[in-house]
């Protein structure tokens, strides 16, 4: 059941972070779909509506300025747990070519790291998903930055710094959007 939850999270993350060009490729879908984005400092709330169905998530994308390569997509949205309760799920998408055996980890400021298992690689990158516990959400809300560590090779790791500026407001907006019937 958890596997189904995380599979749905991957689908949400893929849909919610697709580029506008991706949506434009299928004009019949683009005509029926409405996408809105609202900024909260370094985070954004993105909602996509199709008919009476609306799906929202918050996200931050880290891009290497020199190469314009996406180093990390972090998407947080809601999915159902095994009891049918809506829970926040974070989906991390890393670039292809990272050292997979090292996995990944995230920590907020100087907190304890949370290990992330990289579960699959698709054409857009390698993904990991985790349901966020209340204590982890509170750390995100109170923190300055989240450090995501990935393996570059057997001996070297890379720290990706995710700003948490605006996270609390973005998460509150996501929660409000979800309460309105998403």
Read off the pLDDT of each residue in 74-89 and give the average, rounded to a whole number. 92
Please name each of the domains of the chain with its CATH number: 2-179 (2.60.40.1880)
Mean pLDDT of 36-52: 95
| Burial group, residue 26, by CB count within 10 angstroms (0-12, 13-18, 19+) | exposed
Percent residues over pLDDT 90 in the chain: 73
Give the pLDDT band (50/70/90) at residue 33: confident
Residue 30 has pLDDT above 60, yes or no: no
More confident residue, 70 or 1: 70
- Tokens 């749905």 sit on residue: 8
Q: Give the mean pLDDT of 140-156.
A: 96
53 has which bridge partners? 50
What confidence score (pLDDT) does residue 82 get?
84
Provide the pLDDT for residue 14: 42
User: Does residue 12 have a pLDDT over 70?
Assistant: no
Average pLDDT score over residue span 31-36: 82
| SS3 category, 53 | strand
Q: Is the pLDDT of residue 18 over 80?
A: no
Give 21 or 60, the one with higher predicted confidence.
60
pLDDT in tens, 101-134: 999 999 999 999 999 999 999 999 999 999 999 9
């Amino acid at each position: 059941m958890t596997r189904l939850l995380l599979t749905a999270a991957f689908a949400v993350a893929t849909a919610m972070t697709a580029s506008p060009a991706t949506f434009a490729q299928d004009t019949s879908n683009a005509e029926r779909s409405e996408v809105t984005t609202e900024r909260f400092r370094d985070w954004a709330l993105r909602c996509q509506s199709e008919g009476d169905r609306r799906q929202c998530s918050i996200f931050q994308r880290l891009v290497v300025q020199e190469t314009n390569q996406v180093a990390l997509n972090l998407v947080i949205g809601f999915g159902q747990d095994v009891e049918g309760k809506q829970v926040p799920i974070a989906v991390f998408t890393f670039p292809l070519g990272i050292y997979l055996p090292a996995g990944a980890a995230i920590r907020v400021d100087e907190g304890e790291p949370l290990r992330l298992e990289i579960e699959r690689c698709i054409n857009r990158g390698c993904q990991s998903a985790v349901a966020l516990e209340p204590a982890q959400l509170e750390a995100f809300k109170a923190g300055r930055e989240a450090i995501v560590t990935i393996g570059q090779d057997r001996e070297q790791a890379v720290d990706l710094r995710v700003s948490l500026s605006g996270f609390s407001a973005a998460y509150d907006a996501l929660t409000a959007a979800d309460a309105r019937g998403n």
